[in-house]
Structure 1
Amino acid sequence: MRYLFNSVFGVFSARRLLALILLALMSGCSSVYVLPRVELTDHLKNFVVMKTSKTDFGANESRIIALSREFYRHYEDEFDLLVFMAHNPYRFMDQWEVGRRGTMNLVRNAEVGTGSSIVDVGGIFGSENRLRGVISLIHPDRIFTESMLLHEIMHLWYTDLEVIPTTMYSHWGFSSVGGQLGGFQQADIRSLGDGKYSAGNFAPQRAKTSVPYSPLEMYLAGWIPPEEVPDIWVAEDGSWLMRERSGGRPQHQTDAEGDRIFTASQISTWSIEKIIGKLGPRTPNFEQSQKEFRIAFVLVTDGEEPVKEEYLDATNLFIEEFTKKGPISTWFRNTSRDSLLNFWEATRGIATLDLGDLRSFRR
């Protein structure tokens, strides 16, 4: 299952959309491009509910823009992150595209020395000063499931600039970064000879289990000094070793432990000094960087299926546990078969998400 990410493409699409609107207005066209209709229906303590004709916003940038602009008609520009969650009672997980469960649209970035370019298209999304990114989730449970929200938040600092060589755009690929954006742990690397390797149960584009942000991810986000980032082993041209099957799909080849095998002919080691030489020093540094982020959640429905009270309660619980400034509640952790981490835990308690009472920010 792959994660798809559209921060860079989202930025350029937004610019094209703005250009289209301006062109239509300047030319006196009678048919001006109109954003999808959106209505905010409920103001709750920890999230709001919006209604639009389709919950396809994860694959439809114009709807993301419309949702964002409607949100800011009712709320002050006091949020770093907006998270739109699809009301998806029947759990149609591939309704946006096969494998697409979450996306990030990078809206604003003024930090240098990271994996993201300087950009500011906040006005298009209705935010004049503060909004940094808009995240879309296929279902509220993706706040925790597959560490989707942790993954997408990390894309604030890794979008379009190459940090280390990788075959997975804006992800760590076949490397020992071992964080939310993929890779494995250095201790798991096994050389099998003839340019073949295995490295445990990992994915090159996401974390297979809930893991804390890796040292490199923590550095790029501005939460630790560069001295805490270990050297990184990189298979620059890594790719899975597949076995052809007659009449069927290719199958991953595995080692004696059952771990998938990958091949590579270009192996390199990347120190943090080498990365800084490529990107430049991270500015602001870890002492001055932002570590508190205000976040708002929005449940988006198409209005065809009523939102049940238990669905609202579950969504509220996911939000409260994820933004908690402390460990996840033991009873909540025990309800899941998967390991769970909230944002505070994933950042080692260095960074926090501020939820507050959303209603206090109404215009």
Structure 2
Amino acid sequence: MPCIGPHLPRASLPGVLLVAAAASLAPAETSVKAHTLFAESTGSRFKPIGIYNDGQSTTALEVRRATTGGTISGTFTNSGSALHIAGDNAPSVAVVLRDDGTQGDVVAGDGIYTLWPITSAKATDQFENRLHWNTYHLSLDGGGGTISTKLGIVDSGISYATRVLGTDVDGHLITSSDFIVNIQDDALVDGSLSGNVSENLGAITDKLYSVFDDRFDYLVFISVLKTDNGTNTYFGFRNEVSGLGNSGFGPPYDSTGLFGIPPAEKNSGVFNGIAYINDGGSSIYGALHHELMHRWGVSFGSELGFPFGSHWNGVPAPGEAYVAAFVGALGGAEVTENGDNTITIRAVPATVYPPLELYLMGLIGPGEVPDTTYYRYNQSDQSIIEIFHLSIDDITTTFGPRNPGVADSQKEFAAAFVVITPPGEPLTAAETAMYSVAAEHFGSDAPGDGAVSGALIRTPASFAWGTGFRGTMNTTLFVRPSPVIRTVTVDAGTVSLGITGAAATAYDVYRSPDLVTWGTPIGSATTSNQGDGTGTGTYDDTTAGAGTLFYRLAEQ
């Protein structure tokens, strides 16, 4: 996808720099259709998209069809027998989906066919044995095709406390755990080049910054609805680094004031861009490393004498393609020359950022970057057209050295994970845990397990591990300060406590006459949200009476 310079007002926002992910060695297809739920004639989702493995939490598979009413039938491929479909966990289950308002179907005749109930008791084996992600396939009878849909299974012992941060302009609650924010919005981010995409970005960021300050380098937007016409995308709003290249995200720019993201009154110069993951499922698998890496590249263009696009592989002309002979977050592959002027390409997922990407990120110096090789070839038979070698000296001579260099570059980053759900569909406890685990993992120092499932690492590496611990990504939304009683006032027998603590957090208030006997809470106090992870609150003890009293707080 081309990069577009920032020149237009926020009303349309097509001027935001953006790069879409390529799903394979071929370029990603981009649609210009506006998003609606199930925008295509067919589509599907699990609702909710994550369930506990307690054998009791239920989800439904919803399939949108062009027809309405009655039933449709098919065969459900139960990968690993992980799910119980109305009690049946055979590897292949014959199923009937209903659009008649019965057996879990919400509305008869709306074209949404429902399979319910679906439960799971599968042991989790990913993300430190806290999650299990998989894609399930439904083959419809009568040549109706195959529909593939992702579902997350969460260990039933995992939970994350949530808090209410505020109410948005549409009257929906904004809630969060320590690692994710849930925003309900009916203009779901599409991630394609449709006319309303950037308005969606603005609406959602406005809601986010109504409860947070500008303290995140990156926002990660995740839609629980995967749209057929959407593409994982990085939207760039600011770059203060030079030496990255002269195309795409390379030249320094600042579009934050032009587009009001973040709002002017909150803009402190921290925010850089938004990684949008158009995937109701595995939000952290590969795509997140990939989209965030677009913050720094690829922005070489053709000035180095090779037709670079925005990835380490691409299609510069019809019938031709190119690929880097290394594996990175932005593509590339393992390439073998066969000795007959052809190559064999083995696409494998990246487990760490390679040296060239680490240099662009500012995490290593130019002296640590080896020469890299690129092959331009005919797609029909993978015969070699050109072999191109690139040195770090070629890059610095053409674009100048990276500035700031490794000694002065930023190495500690912060990201806010924002999960976007339709209005009236706040995240369930299992979904909150599922996305919180993914966000917490990305900000930890945990390695990936190295196992490959299809084209994905089963448990991907954290950002820090992928950089060789040269950089960190803080995904914690809130500091967890201990609650403190800052002020105490007494008036006509009422003791008023002024409290500070974590943002939007409920605390039990205890009272003791002797610092020994505390008993049960006498009440509770909830702190406000200051936008920086802290909050303040008050509690009035109207039954204090006379004498010396002691108070303490405990988070609920």
Q: Describe the SS at the equivalent of 2:310.
A: coil
The answer as to whether partners of 1:55 and 1:302 remain within 8 angstroms in 2 is: yes
Aligned residue among 9, 26, 37 for 1:17: 9
Give the drift of 1:161: 4.0
Aligned residue among 231, 242, 247 for 1:112: 242
Q: Describe the SS at the equivalent of 1:41.
A: strand
The answer as to whether partners of 1:175 and 1:184 remain within 8 angstroms in 2 is: yes
The answer as to whether partners of 2:378 and 2:385 remain within 8 angstroms in 1 is: no
Give the drift of 1:55: 2.1
Q: What TM-score, normalized to structure 1?
A: 0.74
Q: Following TM superposition, where does structure 1 have runs of at least 4 consecutive aligned residues deviating by more than 6 angstroms?
A: 332-337
Alpha carbons of 1:168 and 1:160: their partners in 2 closer, same or farther (altered >3 Å)? closer
Alpha-carbon distance in structure 2 between the residues aligned to 1:159 and 1:178: 14
Deviations 1:234-292 (A, max 9, x none): 22x43422xxxxxxxxxxx5xxxxxxxx2332222111111111111000111110000
Alpha carbons of 1:293 and 1:239: their partners in 2 closer, same or farther (altered >3 Å)? farther
The answer to whether the aligner puts 1:327 opposite 2:437 as a matched pair is: no
The answer to whether the aligner puts 1:137 opposite 2:277 as a matched pair is: yes
Residues 35-46 of structure 1 aligned to structure 2 (within 5 Å): 41-46=174-179
Bigger relative contact order, structure 1 or 2 (CA pairs below 8 A, ≥6 apart): 1
Alpha-carbon distance in structure 2 between the residues aligned to 1:353 and 1:149: 12
Alpha-carbon distance in structure 1 between the residues aligned to 2:383 and 2:390: 19
- 2:212 partner amino acid: Y
Deviations 1:13-39 (A, max 9, x none): xx4233779xxxxxxxxxxxxxxx765
Unaligned ranges ≥5, structure 2 = 14-168, 314-322, 479-502, 504-528, 533-556
Deviations 1:168-218 (A, max 9, x none): 621012122421111124xx431442x42223x12xxxxx31321111000
The structure whose residues are more often helix, as a share, is 1
- 1:212 partner amino acid: V
Q: Describe the SS at the equivalent of 1:143.
A: coil
Alpha carbons of 1:118 and 1:198: their partners in 2 closer, same or farther (altered >3 Å)? same
The answer as to whether partners of 2:362 and 2:406 remain within 8 angstroms in 1 is: yes
Alpha-carbon distance in structure 2 between the residues aligned to 1:164 and 1:118: 19
Other-structure match for 1:66: 203
The answer as to whether partners of 1:117 and 1:161 remain within 8 angstroms in 2 is: no
Residues 50-199 of structure 1 aligned to structure 2 (within 5 Å): 50-59=183-192, 60-88=197-225, 92=226, 94-97=227-230, 100=231, 102-115=232-245, 116-123=250-257, 124=259, 125-126=261-262, 128=267, 129-139=269-279, 141-145=281-285, 147-162=286-301, 169-173=309-313, 174-185=323-334, 188-193=335-340, 195-199=341-345
Q: Describe the SS at the equivalent of 2:324.
A: coil
Alpha-carbon distance in structure 2 between the residues aligned to 1:133 and 1:108: 7
Q: Describe the SS at the equivalent of 1:114.
A: coil
Other-structure match for 2:525: none
CA RMSD of aligned residues (A): 2.9
The answer as to whether partners of 1:57 and 1:64 remain within 8 angstroms in 2 is: no
Q: Describe the SS at the equivalent of 1:136.
A: strand
Alpha carbons of 1:320 and 1:54: their partners in 2 closer, same or farther (altered >3 Å)? same
Q: Describe the SS at the equivalent of 2:410.
A: coil
Q: Describe the SS at the equivalent of 2:174.
A: strand
Deviations 1:105-155 (A, max 9, x none): 01100100114221101122125211111111123644332x111111110
The structure whose residues are more often strand, as a share, is 2
Unaligned ranges ≥5, structure 1 = 22-36, 203-207, 242-252, 254-261
Alpha carbons of 1:86 and 1:239: their partners in 2 closer, same or farther (altered >3 Å)? farther
The answer as to whether partners of 2:177 and 2:432 remain within 8 angstroms in 1 is: no
Q: Describe the SS at the equivalent of 1:294.
A: strand
Alpha carbons of 1:70 and 1:159: their partners in 2 closer, same or farther (altered >3 Å)? farther
Give the drift of 1:47: 1.6
- 2:205 partner amino acid: S
Alpha-carbon distance in structure 1 between the residues aligned to 2:395 and 2:10: 35
Give the drift of 1:56: 3.5
Give the drift of 1:164: 5.4
Report % sequence identity. 23
Deviations 1:74-101 (A, max 9, x none): 211111000111123xxx4x4333xx2x
Q: Describe the SS at the equivalent of 1:238.
A: strand
Alpha-carbon distance in structure 1 between the residues aligned to 2:359 and 2:530: 31
Count of residues paired in the alignment: 301
Greater C-alpha radius of gyration: 2
